[in-house]
Amino acid sequence: MTTKLVIGLDGHESGERVLDYGKRMAGLIKDCELLVVYVVEWSPYSFQTPEENAERHKRREEEISLAKARVVDPALAKLSEAGVKARGLVRHGHVADILNAIAKQENAEQIIVGRASSQGLVNRLFGSSTSTLVMSAHVPVTVIG
């Protein structure tokens, strides 16, 4: 059976290291598929103007194609160059929830993410997506520094 690993990318430079680690794991596991996921931070409970609502579908499509073009597709290209089997996904929602949900849905072995991309007060007060993920995930999480 193929072992699946979820790779969470956020477009920051730590993504390179996350990807490298994923590649290495895939090499060690042999029959392995990487799921490269980019999550667009979004809440169904935010407040919007009528105009924003009317344009929402268009913006969503733009966000998805941008994330694909900038983050997911280059990552997939690198992985395929290295001969690693991989799929890309772009989703809207909260990072921790989405990565965990995908891992569950795909029966993935573990989730690999980078360390919190921003530091400071906000993270201290509200916690980063990474720490939320570590605390809530149903599968092991590897955090790359």
Partner 1 sequence: MRNLFIALLVQIAAIAVAGTSFAQEAMTLDQQVNQAFAAATGPFVSFIFAPIPGTSFPWIVMWLVIAASIFTLYFGFVQFRFFGHAISLVKGDYSDPEDAGEVSHFQALATALSGTVGLGNIAGVAVAVGIGGPGATFWMILAGLLGMASKFTECTLGVKFRNEYDDGTVSGGPMYYISKGFKQLGIPGGKPLAILFSIFCIFGALGGGNMFQANQAHAQIAGIVGDYPGWITGIAFSVIVFAVIIGGMKSIARVTEKVVPFMGILYVAAAIIILLVNYDKIGWAFGQIFEGAFTGLGVAGGLVGALIQGFKRAAFSNEAGVGSAAIAHSAVRTKEPITEGVVSLLEPFIDTVVICTMTALVIIITGQLIVDPATGKYVLDGSMIATVGGTSGVALTSAAFGSAISWFPYVLAIAVVLFAFSTMISWSYYGLKAWTYLFGEGKTTELIFKLIFCVFVIIGAAASLGPVIDFSDAAIFAMAVVNIFALYFLMRLVKQEFHSYRERLASGEIKKFKG
| Residues forming the site for partner 1 (CB under 8 A) | 40, 42, 44-58, 60-61, 63-64, 91-93, 101
List of residues 6+ apart from 9 with CB closer than 8 A: 15, 18, 19, 36, 37, 38, 71, 72, 75, 114
CB of 38 to partner 1, least distance (A): 12
Cβ atoms 63, 92 nearer than 8 A: yes
Considering beta carbons, is residue 20 or 61 the nearer one to partner 1? 61
CB of 16 to partner 1, least distance (A): 26
**Could you tell me how many helices (H) and strands (E) the chain has, helices first?**
6, 5
Considering beta carbons, is residue 14 or 100 the nearer one to partner 1? 100
CB atoms within 10 A of CB 75: 22
CB of 46 to partner 1, least distance (A): 7
Considering beta carbons, is residue 49 or 121 the nearer one to partner 1? 49
Cα 92 to Cα 13, 23, 59, 97, distances in angstroms: 21, 25, 12, 10
Considering beta carbons, is residue 23 or 91 the nearer one to partner 1? 91
Cβ atoms 91, 64 nearer than 8 A: no
CB of 107 to partner 1, least distance (A): 17
